[in-house]
Amino acid sequence: MDGLAPESEGSAPGRGRLEGRRVLVVGGGQQTHGLEDPPIGNGRAMSVLFAREGAAVAVADIDRASAEETAALCEAAVALAGDASDEASMERMLAAAAESLGGLDGIVLNVGIGAGLGVQGTSVEDWDRVLAVNLRAHFLGCKHGLPLLAEGGAIVLVGSLAGTQYIPVPAYGASKAALESLTRSAAVEGAPAVRVNLLVPGLIDTSLGRRATELTPDRGQVRIPLRRQGTAWEVAYGALYLLSAESAYVTGSALVVDGGLSQAPRR
C-alpha cells in the first residue's frame, strides 16, 4: 500500500502511551496460512506496538513457537502457550502473565476461527468449535481476567464487522455478534475499576484475510470508502487507544476500524 501514514505502516516511533502498563495479548502469535511473505497479523502488530509504547507485554498463543517469534520482536516480552477456549488453560495463561509481569493492567483477547459454509453446510462440530474459540474464550478472559486487573485496567475484545452483516460463515458471524452483548455485561460488572470495550475491524490485509478472500472472492469486491483494506497496525492503534488512559471515560463501547465499509452503499 503506497502513501500510508507511518502509523498505518507500523513505522511511527513510540510516544510512551502505555508507559508502565502490563499487558497480556491472547492470540499474539501469527499463522501464515500458506503465504510465502505474509503481512503482519493483528495480534503480532498489537504486541509489538504496545511494547514500543512502553508496556511490558506477555504474548500468549496456542502455538508456542509463534508466540515466541512475536515476543522476540518486542523488548523483554514474555511468551506463553495455551488454549484460550479451555477454562483451565485460560486461567493458567492469565496467572502466568500476572506473575511474570508483576500484575496486569490490560488484556487483549484476539482469538477467532471460522468453519463451515452456509447454515446447511455447517456441522454441529464446526459450530461448537467456532463458538468455543470466538466466544467462550472471550467470556473466560473476562470472567477470570477482571479480578486480576489493577484499578484503571482495561480489557479489549476483538470482534469483527462480520458480526453486523451477512457472511456465508454463520458460526463466525454469530460468535462475533454475541461479543457485543458480552462486552456490555463485562463493562458493567467491571466498572468503575476496569473498562471493557470491543474492537471491530473491517476488511484487514492479514494472512487470514487473504485466505478468506481466496475462498469467497466477493469479499474483495466490496466498496470501501477509503478505497483500501486496512492494515494490522491500524487495528493495533485502535486497541492501543482502548487500553490507554486516553479512553478513560470509554467502556461498554464498540470501536469500528473499517475504512467506512459499514457506512458504504451496497450498490
Q: Which positions are annotated as active-site residues?
A: 172
Q: Which of 109, 97, 110, 111 is nearest to 22 (CA)?
A: 97
β-pairing, 149-158 vs 104-109, is parallel
**HSE toward the beta carbon, residue 235, CA cutoff 13 A:** 30
d(Cα 59, Cα 7) in Å, to the nearest integer? 21
Using 50, 70 and 90 to split pLDDT, how confident is the model at 67? very high
Encode pLDDT of 25-43 as tens digits: 999 998 876 777 788 999 9
CATH 3.40.50.10190 fits 19-258, yes or no: no
The residue extents of the domains of the chain are 19-258
Q: Which residue intervals of 13-169 are DSSP H helices?
A: 42-52, 64-73, 87-101, 124-131, 137-145
Question: What pLDDT does residue 208 have?
Answer: 73
Using 50, 70 and 90 to split pLDDT, how confident is the model at 221? low
Encode pLDDT of 5-32 as tens digits: 999 999 999 999 999 999 999 999 988 7
Using 50, 70 and 90 to split pLDDT, how confident is the model at 101? very high
Question: What pLDDT does residue 109 have?
Answer: 98
Encode pLDDT of 143-169 as tens digits: 999 999 999 999 999 998 888 888 888
Question: What pLDDT does residue 243 have?
Answer: 98
Using 50, 70 and 90 to split pLDDT, how confident is the model at 266? low
pTM: 0.91
* 252 burial type by CB count under 10 A (0-12 exposed, 13-18 middle, 19+ buried): middle
Over range 115-122, report the average pLDDT: 86
